[in-house]
Amino acid sequence: MSIEVLARELGVPVDALIPYGRSAAKLQAPPASPRGQIVLVSGITPTSHGEGKTTLSIGLADALRASGERAVVALRQPSLGPLLGIKGGGTGGGRASLVDAEHVDAHFTGDLHAVASAHNLLAAVVDNHLHYATELDIDPRSITWPRAIDMNDRSLRRIVTGLDSVPRETEFVATAASELMALLALARDRDDLRARLARVVVGARRDRRPVTADDLGVVGAAMLLLGDAVLPNATTTLEGTPAFVHAGPYADIAHGCSSVIATRAALGLADWVVLEAGFGFDLGGEKYFDIVCPAAELDAAVVVIACTARSLADHGDGSVERGLPNLAAHVEAARSFGRPVVVAINRHEGDSPDALRAIACYGERLGVAVLPTDGYARGSSGVLSLARAVLDASSTRAPLRHPYDISDRPRDKLRAIATRIYGARDVTWTPEAARQLDAAIELGAESWPVCVAKTPRSLSDDPRRLGRPSGHDLTVREVRAAAGAGFWIARAGNITLLPGLPRHPRAERLEP
């Protein structure tokens, strides 16, 4: 596929694109007036089998286009950790894939490297202020800004730096877990990105006043390093459907979907934008509606919940029927926002017809359409029935509802998510987390949405509790203020922001 073909499929002049290789480009000056509607693709609680949300999103966009609709798919940009570790790439599978998938999975347009460079600039400048004992008078014990790397490396989770200057303990996080990645994904344009970057809090002075990136004096340099990373990346699927692949915030620490800039650009170029929200609806979907939509004036016409028979069986200790309540929890959560829901079963070879019928019958009891799909093997033709169901469902929509009002107290916001979305009994706070919340409120968190950092492997904060757990409390162990992103983070359970490699990583089997 040439850049000329990509421009024609997007409906933009060729000179609106900055080519990156043969099949990808940066889009300059995205359209300012959205015209399309969003189909939000999320899923049940993930298992080791994978639910195929990316494959489904690509197949659905292809199917909408094959049905005569103008469609674009908007995906997060893959990072190297999953590619080289366990999960693999983030470009779909089989016939529902992006073109030149290896390029997209590995380095693509270099956005993640730009984010890591800007992030680590702030970290280096913080330590430089410590070394020279500057007028900022930064308290080393207050520094919350880590370093970032786009690689799974457990040995960097806790480190000691400054052995030849001011020693202190710190950490590395994955680039996708950086607050800079989150604010890149939420920014509306370059000016908004700069303003958000300036508000980032890296620590505090000894008199407890916060130190921001603006105080460090390197916002301009960080913007220089980010460069064209603010522009959305465009490519196509194997069937020629335009695809935006831009920004990649983790859904277990941030909001888990493609950038606002890419999404709004897609809405200006297409009638339908298929937007993937990472992990289960309890993380990706909820955060899209509660964090992204208010910040960017976005919405969704329909929510698609992806599942597989194998994953539901995992949630039911080997029985699909016993695992179905997990599907119900996500359907009910999506419906609570006032949006119609359609369930898609990603079919796999060897799926039992009885299991597929059980899922369909359960969907009837829930009052939702359940459609088997086979985008992996058949491409758009295997997803046409889902596309028709999505188009039919989009005609009925209630006003958008949220589990909390933005004016609610921070603790009440979190309690609403925990009880209404996760099915928790209540929220408990460690003394340290309570103190940190008070500090976050001093920075402005009272008026921010809450972003929960918890395991994606369970509706609870315990990855061992599969299915639809009940009677559990959400225990908040840490609170962080993400002033640049504009939300506060409630960290529950044991969440690592830098995964490790397995004993035999996928990297051992990869070849160019």
Are 265 and 373 in a shared domain?
Answer: yes
CATH classification of the domain holding 481: 3.10.410.10
399 contacts 389 by C-beta, under 8 angstroms:
no
Instruction: Count the Cβ atoms, other than its own, within 10 Å of residue 481.
Output: 24
Which pLDDT score, from 0 to 100, does residue 173 have?
A: 96
510, part of any domain: no
CA end-to-end distance (rounded Å), the chain:
20
Give the position of tokens 């920014």: 187
Closest CA to 340 of 301, 374, 297: 301
> Percentages helix, strand, coil for the chain, rounded to the nearest 5?
40, 20, 40
User: Given 228, 251, 286, which residue is the final one in a domain?
Assistant: 228
Interatomic CA distance for residues 429 and 49, integer angstroms: 33
Which pLDDT score, from 0 to 100, does residue 398 have?
A: 84
User: Given 228, 261, 291, which residue is the final one in a domain?
Assistant: 228
**What is the radius of gyration, based on Cα positions, of the chain?**
22
26, part of any domain: no
Are 207 and 268 in a shared domain?
Answer: no
261 contacts 93 by C-beta, under 8 angstroms:
no
263 contacts 300 by C-beta, under 8 angstroms:
no
Residue 130: phi and psi, rounded to 5, are: -65, -45
pTM: 0.96
Beta bridge partners of 204: 210
Structure tokens at 96: 């529902």
**Buried-exposed string 260-273: b where 16+ CB fall within 10 A, e elsewhere:** bbbbbbbbbbbebb
Interatomic CA distance for residues 195 and 291, integer angstroms: 18
DSSP secondary structure string, 453-485? E--TTSSSS-TT--SS--S-EEEEEEEEEETTT
Distances in Å between the Cα of 104 and the Cα atoms of 71, 77, 101, 168, 239 are 20, 8, 5, 37, 16
56 contacts 304 by C-beta, under 8 angstroms:
yes
77, part of any domain: yes
Cα angle value 90/88/71 (rounded, 5°): 15
Q: What is the full per-residue pLDDT of the chain (512 aa) written as tens digits?
A: 688 999 999 999 999 999 998 889 999 987 767 889 999 999 999 998 888 999 999 999 999 999 999 999 999 999 988 888 877 788 999 999 999 999 999 999 999 999 999 999 999 999 999 999 999 999 999 999 999 999 999 999 999 999 999 999 999 999 999 999 999 999 999 999 999 999 999 999 999 999 999 999 999 999 999 999 999 999 999 999 999 999 999 888 899 999 999 999 999 999 999 999 988 999 999 999 999 999 999 999 999 999 999 999 999 999 999 999 999 999 999 999 999 999 999 999 889 999 999 999 999 999 999 999 999 999 999 999 999 999 999 987 789 999 999 999 999 999 999 999 999 999 999 999 999 999 999 999 999 999 999 999 999 999 999 999 999 999 999 999 999 999 999 999 888 899 999 999 989 988 88
Which pLDDT score, from 0 to 100, does residue 87 have?
A: 76
With a CB cutoff of 8 Å and minimum separation 6, the contacts of 8 are none
With a CB cutoff of 8 Å and minimum separation 6, the contacts of 261 are 30, 187, 188, 189, 230, 231, 232, 246
CATH classification of the domain holding 178: 3.30.1510.10
Which pLDDT score, from 0 to 100, does residue 267 have?
A: 96
Q: How do beta strands 341-346 and 369-373 pair?
A: parallel
Each as own residue / partner, the long-range contacts of residues 439-442 (CB below 8 Å, 24 or more positions apart, any chain) are 439/479, 439/481, 440/410, 440/479, 440/480, 440/481, 440/488, 441/410
380: number of CA atoms within 13 Å, CB side?
A: 17
Which pLDDT score, from 0 to 100, does residue 278 have?
A: 82
Closest CA to 129 of 212, 196, 199, 223: 212
Interatomic CA distance for residues 287 and 440, integer angstroms: 19
Task: Tell me the residue range of the domain where 208 lies.
Answer: 111-228
Interatomic CA distance for residues 467 and 483, integer angstroms: 35
Are 382 and 267 in a shared domain?
Answer: yes
Are 297 and 374 in a shared domain?
Answer: yes
Q: Is 336 exposed, middle or buried (0-12, 13-18, 19+ CB in 10 A)?
A: middle
User: Given 170, 202, 228, which residue is the final one in a domain?
Assistant: 228
1, part of any domain: no
58, part of any domain: yes
Are 170 and 260 in a shared domain?
Answer: no
Interatomic CA distance for residues 483 and 202, integer angstroms: 10
376 contacts 96 by C-beta, under 8 angstroms:
yes
15, part of any domain: no
Are 261 and 358 in a shared domain?
Answer: yes
Closest CA to 57 of 304, 239, 299, 291: 304
Structure tokens at 193: 């990105």
Are 288 and 374 in a shared domain?
Answer: yes
DSSP element (H, E) containing 276: strand 272-276
DSSP element (H, E) containing 420: helix 410-420
Are 204 and 163 in a shared domain?
Answer: yes
Are 358 and 263 in a shared domain?
Answer: yes
The DSSP output letter for 343 is E
Mutual orientation of helices 219-226 and 190-199 as an angle, nearest 10°?
Answer: 130
104, part of any domain: no
Structure tokens at 271: 């009638």
Are 315 and 261 in a shared domain?
Answer: yes
Interatomic CA distance for residues 268 and 53, integer angstroms: 24
Are 207 and 157 in a shared domain?
Answer: yes
Closest CA to 344 of 394, 305, 393, 374: 305
Domains in the chain, number: 3
65, part of any domain: yes
DSSP secondary structure string, 213-240? HHHHT-HHHHHHHHGGGGSPEEEEBTT-
CATH classification of the domain holding 380: 3.40.50.300
Are 333 and 256 in a shared domain?
Answer: yes
